[in-house]
Structure 1
């Protein structure tokens, strides 16, 4: 649990994008348990807001809406922790990938983290403290039917490393988490239960089970902690050993 408090009177705040369902929901639940206040930027409201959570309806794929919501937040309080979780997939083989899909996925998966980081950066620099966790994906290493998605998540890793270099001297750490197969509604929509490709994925996980959103949330909470100040520019793959296992396929 973190004890850092920018204003000295209230629990430290974390901005989480896409926190109304899936991995983002588990992240918010874990951070609330850790004693943070959480601001949830999501176009959809959660089924129920939890004590300590504030939901702000934001169309994160829209740059103007994102800037407006971020400006209102930083005017209200100091936010020194950011979890860029919101994202979308739009799977397709290369020959079927469209420029419309590319524009939308890049707007949500790449543009939004950049805009929010720009908004929060002055406050982090003023306090000489910040924790940023970007939710990338194991698909950034390459995955069929993921031309657009993999490009966006690989781009997020590039931004993570660049920001870590630019902001390290200001006490700001920037890291990424690359989830592997996590049992969420999004995963099951793209990989239907019982489908051959889904069963192949399950069989390839070295630890013998699918990941859970709580597995990812644990990694997020660790990287947001005050004591994680010497970890920056890194990618933590929460994948049940699948990334390590790539060498077994050679």
Structure 2
């Protein structure tokens, strides 16, 4: 009877130990999942595998030209015709008045006045076209993502719930990984972040309405970091995409 009791006690003790070990392994696995991948460390920009500020500027200009091309085509198809029609109509009115007044010199003078108005209409149309051309050129210049100026070195700190990125100019970007937007970057932007299956997503919204979406992804060896950016600016229908690559510093 005592032997049977000892066996039962030993079995229960073994079962308890296995249960504890399983719980510890599960907790460790969960903590590892929360903390991985590990972005913490110092990262230096890999210029050869990164899009430059000039590259992004060119993409913005191309997108601006594509956006303004339909409007420019529509304007060129209607404005000149309207200008010529207006000038011809006013000129015709002047000649009609002159013909009707051939018997008297006063009305003949009125005919000349009508022709003059037609000429002024043509000059106004030309000036409007020049203004449209200048406006189209100006629309091709859009602001670059502010991070491009200072992201050549990133100092990253990380815990289970957040990431902090320090840029080369000393600014800090605090990212809580719960998907909720919070003020960051010295109060100049609202920032949100969350984990994805293959990395991390960071969303930066600036006061002027522009928005930068970043997808952070580590290489399998943990020594290379790729940040894919999607930049949207007000007045431009499509976003431009660019890539910034980093290597870990020892």
TM more than 0.5: no
Q: TM-score, normalised by structure 2?
A: 0.24
Q: TM-score, normalised by structure 1?
A: 0.24
Q: Which has the higher strand share?
A: 2
Structure number with larger C-alpha Rg: 2
